[in-house]
Chains A and B, each alone.
Chain A
Amino acid sequence: MAIETDDFLLPGHPLCAGCGLAITLKHITRLLGKRTVALIPPSCSGPLATENSYKISLPGIHIALTHGAAIAAGIKAGLEAKGLKDVTVLPLMGDGGTADIGLQALSGSAERNDDILYVCLDNEGYMNTGIQGSASTPIGAYTTTTPAGRNRPLGRDRPKKDVFRIVSDHDVPYAATACISYLSDFKRKIRKANSTEGFRYIHVLNPCPTGWGFSPDKTVEMGLLAVKTGMFILAESEHGRIRMTHVPVKRIPVKDYIKHQSRFRHLKDDQIREIQKLVDERFERYLRIQEREDDKRS
């Protein structure tokens, strides 16, 4: 029996139970509608685009890991040359394809202000291929390529690369971070991106029960905790002017976030204190950026 749906993410998809990506994709495609081309790289979205099971009900193409922004720009130009001016080209890149191997193409495209809507689906690692570490993996996280051991007790020993700020510093028309746990903020940003012309970047945190090691019913809660602790900052920028879109009234300790996830299980109290310090510093840096922008506006 066929299941009827108005969604563009079709039922019966092979994503993990509790996958944050599924929620994100469902909402993004709903908001953008059918004049959209989906670009799917090898990533957790890859299994949605197989020969006998294409689970996104939009015209699409399975692309390479390296070139999301560039091929998107080419598709947009090609469609315009064929007289189709109103189609949104949507590369749905993972964090590895964004923060690591696709960063050059992303920077080139952002600098040119190509008219595409680039989405980074950030689950903080190469999760589809067995939980390897990426530049977007947070400090202290265990992954299969950043295991914690006697010589590297932290596991991943560098802080998460802030791609949102990198892209924002290209003075693009619109860039934002978002998380499905803050759905109205998320939806507003997608709509804003959709109504903006030129290069648009949305960096979405997708909690990953499989890669992070938490119960699949806690996906939304993990997103809430990531923002409330300051591990993930909700912000947006227009032409390089950064603004925080949600400032927790009182941030809760990082420990209350990482204790739910087995990827942080190896951390000792002093290591958690170090991570807390880094998170505080990054959060305060954002507050200072925000104050500077507020000063400029007033």
Chain B
Amino acid sequence: MAFCRVLTGNQAISQGARLCRPQVIAIYPITPQSEIAETMAGFTAEGELDARIFRVESEHSALSIVIGAEVAGARAFTATSSNGLFYMHEMLHYASGLRLPIVMAVANRASPAPWNIWGDHSDSISQRDTGWLQVYVENCQEALDTVIQAYRIAEDRRVSLPIMVCLDGFTLTHVSEGVDIPPQDVVDEFLPPYDPEYSLSKLIERDETACFSPVIFPETSYMEYKYLQAKASERSKDVIREVDREFERKFNRKWGGLIENYHTDDADYILVTLGSLTTTARAVVDELREDGWSVGLIKLRFYRPFPEKELVDCLQDAKIVGVLDRNFSYGYAGAVYSDLSSAIDGRAEIVDFIGGLGGRELNEDHFRYMFRRLKELSTTRDQKRVEWIGLKMK
């Protein structure tokens, strides 16, 4: 029987992970993720989850343990944030290169220095090229549901890639909402046990000897491995759409697959957001629409794979598009803006709004301002492409 509980984002992630029955868990605590480490430990202590949980000395070892478990053929789970994610960096490449469908929650947090524990997306965005799929969730229900979707997507043999489920530090990790917890038997039907084509346990059972991830030479097959990995990342788009549709059939909820668009069909001014700020942006779109503005909104769920086709379809008829980047690629612009500009390829004007870094508040006024700026900039030619929002200096 399904039932609703008031859960923080961290608890929702943990409930989602529990329902997926990971067999090995290794999580190092870090603000604002620690509650996931605590909740998963509690589940195993109370016998609500039959898993081997490791108290680790670092995130590097946490991900290494999870990698080891998945190479052996078991389902595994971990979570981290900011400095912890950076400490994992070496192993991020290793996990995707080994094509391991690890699911990891990332409680999004700023990238010190200066020291800051509050939310922005610079931690996960800066890991863009590690080969992990990245999905950004808007609320606690989506956090729980997306963990379940993520295992299905990652373990699909057309994909076999790890996924980061990213949730905003504090604004999601520490905010409580009513969350429907799906029944275990329905999740079990949706997500069968992990059965990889190759694993160390299969080698041992078949009494075979082989070496995973051996040294590969320049003129043999390294590039071919990487090409197959690139193809799988591309192919994951179909799987993400399919899984969201099937999820809806099973659980009566859908999250849009790669993106969710809101009043974009007839919109002149469209804003692209990721994560929990989408809720505020959506309220402002409703308000401005009542005032007669043709504004729209796109929630970018998956940043990798980058949903180029969906975005172009929705955005090419807009007068101007704004991107809200809670990150910055120093020396150029926000990362989402850069990728979107390349996808749009001149078919629409694009402006980059940098905001919400290190947990800086972005409220309805800021979103009204961004839409106003889009309208102003759509009629001027000499537009500044990157604007910092809510800056307290000139």
Chain A residues close to B by CB (< 8 Å) = 34-35, 37, 40, 46-47, 49-52, 54, 56-64, 66-67, 69-84, 87, 104-105, 107-109, 111-112
Contact = CB atoms under 8 A, between A and B. Distances in A.
Nearest to A72: B68
Interface string B42-63: 0000000000101111101100
B1 interface: no
Nearest to B203: A59
Given A104-B57, A108-B56, A108-B58, A78 B68 contact: yes
A78 B24 contact: yes
Most buried by A among B69, B70, B76, B212: B69
B379 interface: no
A59 B204 contact: yes
B228 to A, nearest CB: 15
Contacts of B90: 64, 66
Nearest to B53: A77
B332 interface: no
Given A64-B94, A77-B65, A78-B76, 13 more contacts: A40-B211, A46-B215, A50-B216, A58-B209, A66-B64, A74-B24, A74-B69, A77-B74, A78-B69, A78-B201, A81-B72, A84-B205, A111-B57
Contacts of A63: 213
Contacts of A74: 24, 26, 54, 64-72, 76
Nearest to A107: B57
A40 B72 CA distance: 15
A77 B68 contact: yes
Nearest to A78: B72
A71 B213 CA distance: 14
A78 B70 contact: yes
Interface residues of B, number: 45
A54 B214 contact: yes
A105 B60 contact: yes
A61 B199 CA distance: 10
Nearest to B56: A108
B342 interface: no
Contact of A75 (B57, B61, B200): B200
B68 A73 contact: yes
Interface of B: 23-24, 26, 52, 54-58, 60-61, 64-74, 76, 90-91, 94, 199-201, 203-205, 207-217, 220-221
Contacts of A87: 204
A49 B211 CA distance: 7
B67 to A, nearest CB: 6
B201 A60 contact: no
Please provide the 5 A-B residue pairs with the shortest distance between their CB atoms, ordered closest to farther: A74-B68, A78-B72, A108-B57, A78-B69, A74-B65
29 contacts: A35-B204, A37-B200, A49-B215, A50-B214, A50-B215, A59-B200, A59-B208, A59-B211, A61-B71, A62-B212, A67-B64, A70-B61, A70-B68, A73-B54, A73-B65, A74-B54, A75-B200, A76-B68, A77-B52, A77-B69, A79-B74, A84-B201, A105-B57, A105-B61, A105-B64, A108-B56, A108-B57, A109-B61, A111-B57
A107 B26 CA distance: 16
Contacts of B205: 84
Most buried by B among A57, A77, A79, A104: A77
A61 B210 CA distance: 8
Contact of B215 (A47, A79, A83): A47
Given A52-B220, A74-B26, A81 B69 contact: yes
Most buried by A among B71, B91, B212, B214: B214
A46 B213 CA distance: 11
A196 B238 CA distance: 49
A49 B214 contact: yes
Most buried by B among A56, A63, A71, A74: A74
A32 to B, nearest CB: 14
Nearest to A68: B64
Nearest to B28: A108
Contact of B91 (A56, A60, A64, A79): A64
Contact of B23 (A46, A51, A78): A78
Contacts of B24: 74, 77-78, 81
